Structure 1
């Protein structure tokens, strides 16, 4: 792997070390928000039910200038003085807001928990156990439940291993497919200090690039229990970009970036496998949106599938989805 690529800070914000005179808890639970007040109460409640006290857990909401709700009022109501609230003076976008979260975090381990996601009972205890096993563990993650707007469970991420422990062959496994939902992972703050924040070139898949970057440098701990929930809805960051195909375009860009973190002997086969996986994912999305007669979305996703894997089979499947969307649109 390229050590210079791992430490190339041109497109990442520098995360400064915590000052020596600052008292550090073990956990920093940093909750970035933007217009997600409808879910923030549930998010905060899921953390506060596992509160280990201010000496062991920093809990802070960092709001990116919400304009459709009042997150400060929600924090004051539910947090009762236990949760710190910080507001950006103007909307800076989610990557910059994540950086504010990382920079303000004082703990040894940072948990970025989106303001519409949840953690289940035992999350912090289980992942801390992983970090305590070895300083080589740079990140720990668990399985995640995928939930809808109402909190109804849609599915659960694939189980990686039967038992908790270091994830074998973790770099190649994580580079082949995005397997980690953001609420399910926690990262040593020192790892962010070494490798920088999220890549500013990415609007989607910035999390995948980050996890692969970390995996190229550190060991990962895996907990097979589903102890976190990732909320899927049309207003999520990825959901907003499906119709234009930008979600898949950024996924491909993330692959191009993290390919340089991989061992040269594995680079080509790993990226090829990832591109095949997301060609299938784009085709599946094209078929899904075709069912509602959304022609632009079907066309955008079909085109992205071809960009991932330019082959006659993918082209035929993409064309079929577009034709289906046209027929469906003609029926309405």
Structure 2
């Protein structure tokens, strides 16, 4: 098995069909095989439960309500795929995402592959801007969505998602921070790879909750935050000094860009 698509579900049967249809519509798989694992996280909605009971072409696991992080961990524990694709039950993947991700994993040392979202639903206004991974940016704000592909061995090494219910809707942010700290390699695909549904009841819009999550994450990753702050502080200090002495900065940059390189090349030539 190449890919395990993990979908946590909690009373979201009204959207689940769209998510499953998007997976089934993935035609350009180049012979790769995938499985779909849905983890019912203690749903109580009758329509959702009826829908789950009618599914026969995927694995459905039922568990008590423990939160989406725990549901995803349950799905990964049951997964047979070498790679994991995390898909929320209210989102949709684009045709080609799985095959593209597998190709990147097989041709590089990437541990995490992710792309850009297209926003739809209550609004199409972007909630975040996705780009290349860097630790400074990820500590300020999460710019990598849950809908990403992860090498299963790397996920296991990281210990999976933190199942603390206080991190609900932000489990991915914590995972990316830990992955970056562990020197895991991120590969950004600068193309739309999935559709992100915006609803009117998103936890991402709760500013008070967001502040609480930031407090939890900054406490949890205290040493990493402090080290990163020191590096940024040193860089900012150098920038302010250069800003006050523009001519010195100009000649310093010219020296390192041209003269320093010329001197090194000349010295190497003399040795040979």
* TM-score, normalised with respect to structure 2: 0.74
1:66 maps onto 2:77 in alignment: no
Q: Which residue of 2 aligns with 1:173?
A: 137
Q: Which residue of 2 aligns with 1:84?
A: 59
Q: Which residue of 2 aligns with 1:32?
A: 8
Q: For 1:155, what is the secondary structure of its paired residue? A: coil
How many residue pairs match? The answer is: 229
Q: For 2:99, what is the secondary structure of its paired residue? A: helix
Q: Is the 8 A contact 2:203 2:209 kept in 1?
A: no
Q: Which residue of 1 aligns with 2:185?
A: 219
Change beyond 3 A, Cα 1:252–1:54: farther
Q: CA deviation at 1:133?
A: 2.2
Q: For 2:191, what is the secondary structure of its paired residue? A: strand
Q: Is the 8 A contact 1:29 1:110 kept in 2?
A: yes
Change beyond 3 A, Cα 1:129–1:107: same
Q: Could you tell me which runs of 5 or more consecutive residues in structure 1 were left unpaired when the two chains were aligned.
A: 1-24, 161-166, 272-332
- Aligned partners of 2:209, 2:130: CA distance in 1, in Å? 28
Q: CA deviation at 1:146?
A: 2.5
Alignment of 1:248-267 (within 5 A): 248-261=211-224, 264=227, 266-267=228-229
Q: Which residue of 1 aligns with 2:21?
A: 45
1:118 maps onto 2:92 in alignment: yes
Q: For 2:118, what is the secondary structure of its paired residue? A: strand
Q: Is the 8 A contact 1:144 1:157 kept in 2?
A: no
Larger CA Rg, structure 1 vs 2: 2
Q: CA deviation at 1:66?
A: 0.9
* TM-score, normalised with respect to structure 1: 0.61
Q: For 1:110, what is the secondary structure of its paired residue? A: strand
Q: Which residue of 2 aligns with 1:153?
A: 124
Q: CA deviation at 1:221?
A: 0.5
Q: For 1:126, what is the secondary structure of its paired residue? A: helix
Which of 138, 142, 147 matches 2:111? 138
Q: Is the 8 A contact 2:5 2:34 kept in 1?
A: yes
Change beyond 3 A, Cα 1:92–1:35: same
Change beyond 3 A, Cα 1:53–1:34: farther
Change beyond 3 A, Cα 1:270–1:203: farther
Which of 155, 175, 199 matches 1:210? 175
Q: For 2:95, what is the secondary structure of its paired residue? A: coil
CA shift digits 1:252-307 (9 cap, x unpaired): 3213323434693x344669xxxxxxxxxxxxxxxxxxxxxxxxxxxxxxxxxxxx
1:231 maps onto 2:197 in alignment: yes
Q: Please provide the CA RMSD for this pair.
A: 2.8
Change beyond 3 A, Cα 1:220–1:179: same
Change beyond 3 A, Cα 1:140–1:214: same
Q: Is the 8 A contact 1:176 1:270 kept in 2?
A: no
Q: For 1:225, what is the secondary structure of its paired residue? A: strand
Change beyond 3 A, Cα 1:91–1:270: farther
CA shift digits 1:107-136 (9 cap, x unpaired): 1111121111111122112222221222x3
